[in-house]
Amino acid sequence: MAAPFFSTPFQPFVYQSQQENVIPFQILGGEAQIVQIMLKPQEKVIAKPGTMCYMSGSVQMEHVYVPENEAGIWQWLFGKSVTSTVLLNSSPNDGFVGVAAPSLARILPIDLAMFGGELLCQPDAFLCSINDVKVSNTVDQRARNIVAGVEGFLRQKLSGQGLAFIIGGGSVVQKNLEVGEVLSVDMSSIVAVSATINVQVKYNGPMRRVVFGGENLITAVLTGPGIVFIQSMPFQRLSQRIARAVTSPNVRDNPKFFVQIAIFFFLAYVVVVSSIILTDI
């Protein structure tokens, strides 16, 4: 029998760690945050390319290809980077690095040891990590999990016992699901789920609506036990609304819009008629 819905209420994200050697870090800022990590000699941070904001003079930066990335060729074909940035403190003294979220997002520190050594994330959720963390982007072969758009083909998995930092847009809350407890979440609003949660995809409407786009058309049905992290403003949704505002001007703000459309169709008509006349001649 499923547990009552409010037996484990939603709550703000709270960082927890059982590691004996606590890694000193500090998250700075409000919406577009920066995580500042202190590095001992020979310690290193693995970060997403383009996210390094600042670092001490003793830290060396290098871009390397990660061979365990199982979907590297797919990422390259879809315009994504297949390298990672390594920030190594090569000095005998302590150093620091600042890694910034690439968008208006909050940074969540995740101790993978608290999640059984594995966490499933949305594509591009990973920001950086320290110690034993492996990031793999794999292609999901299950047809029911393939959704419209490139991002539907990729799944990001974090494994290991180290400390990882992931990003979530807007406000981020976490929900602890009991055994058999069911929660439905908009697919794009999920930041990450623990590997113990059973995830099923539900299409809310005809398949043609899913293919041609829309909002809240794909829902993830989560069944506990486990933990899910939910974001209020996914970057994909934010970018779509910005694009609509830029590319779809209001007619009152742009009265020449219909005139421009009419001129376009008139020119197209002239070209078509001219080609027909020239062909007959």
Q: Following DSSP, what letter does each residue of 234-272 receive, concatenated?
A: -HHHHHHHHHHHHHS--TTT-TTHHHHHHHHHHHHHHHH
- Segment 117-138, tens digit of pLDDT: 889 888 888 999 998 888 887 6
Instruction: Tell me which H or E stretch contains 124.
Output: none
Q: What is the DSSP track for 45-110? A: EEE-TT-EEEE-TTEEEEEEE-TT-TTHHHHHHTT---EEEEEEE-SSS-EEEEEE-SSSEEEEEE
Residues of the chain with confidence (pLDDT) below 70: 1-22, 66-82, 138-154, 204-217, 244, 246-258, 278-281
Closest CA to 126 of 148, 142, 105: 105
- Segment 227-253, tens digit of pLDDT: 999 998 887 777 777 776 766 555 555
Closest CA to 29 of 131, 127, 95, 105: 105
Look up residue 6 and give its DSSP letter: G
Question: What integer pLDDT is reported at residue 205 of this predicted model?
Answer: 60
Q: Quote the tokens at residue 180.
A: 């058999």
pTM: 0.72
Q: Are 130 and 37 in contact (CB under 8 A)?
A: yes
Question: What integer pLDDT is reported at residue 146 of this predicted model?
Answer: 44
Question: What integer pLDDT is reported at residue 258 of this predicted model?
Answer: 66
Q: Quote the tokens at residue 3.
A: 């547990």
Please list, residue by residue across 35-47, b when 16 or more beta carbons sit within 10 angstroms of its beta carbon and e when fewer do: bbbebeeebbbbb
Residue 187 — φ and ψ, nearest 5°?
-55, -45
Residue 15 — φ and ψ, nearest 5°?
-75, 130
